[in-house]
Amino acid sequence: MKSLANSRTASRRRVAGFTLVEALVALVVLSIGMLGIAALYMETLRAGRSALYRTEAVSLAADLADRIRANRAPADAYTGAGLNAVAVADLAAWNDAVATLPGGAAEIRFVDGLGVAPSTYVIRVSWTEVGQDTPVFYELRIEV
């Protein structure tokens, strides 16, 4: 009778110990899964921030393009050579808006078609992304 009772007690100890090991393994698997979810969440936040900066850059370039189209005289009014009062005010407001981007910078080039081709403005907005060494940019070309 004693050997039967001893074997039941030993069997219970083994089962109880095995259950504890199962619980620890489940906890480790759950922890690894939670770390994966946290990493995915961080990547989603980074991608969302990047999309927001890109959208802002596109909007800023389109804003300046509209300002250039509205102020037609002279054709190169936004590049320094033919600046007028409207262009100076537009550029000041626009450069302030570009500065809201992280590391925001802007470049405006005027390419004169000399009557053979249409004159073109090239508007470039650049900013820095977290984790990248080189700035990211968006470039818009408009014919005037």
Domain total of the chain: 1
Q: What are phi and psi of 124, to 5 degrees?
A: -125, 125
* Surface-to-core class of residue 94, CB atoms within 10 Å of its CB (0-12 exposed, 13-18 middle, 19+ buried): buried
Domain assignment of residue 69, given as a range: 2-143
Task: Please answer whether residues 144 and 77 qualify as being in contact, where contact means their C-beta atoms are separated by less than 8 angstroms.
Answer: no
Please give the helix or strand (H or E) that residue 137 lies within, else none: strand 136-143
Query: Is 119 within 8 Å of 112 (Cβ atoms)?
Result: yes
The tokens for 34 are 């939670």
pLDDT in 10s for each residue of the chain, 144 residues: 556 656 666 555 555 566 888 889 999 999 999 999 999 999 999 999 999 999 999 999 999 999 999 987 777 888 866 778 888 899 999 999 999 999 999 999 998 888 788 889 999 999 999 888 899 999 999 998
Closest CA to 137 of 114, 111, 108, 113: 108
pTM above 0.85, yes or no: no
Q: Are 126 and 136 in contact (CB under 8 A)?
A: yes
Beta bridge partners of 137: 126
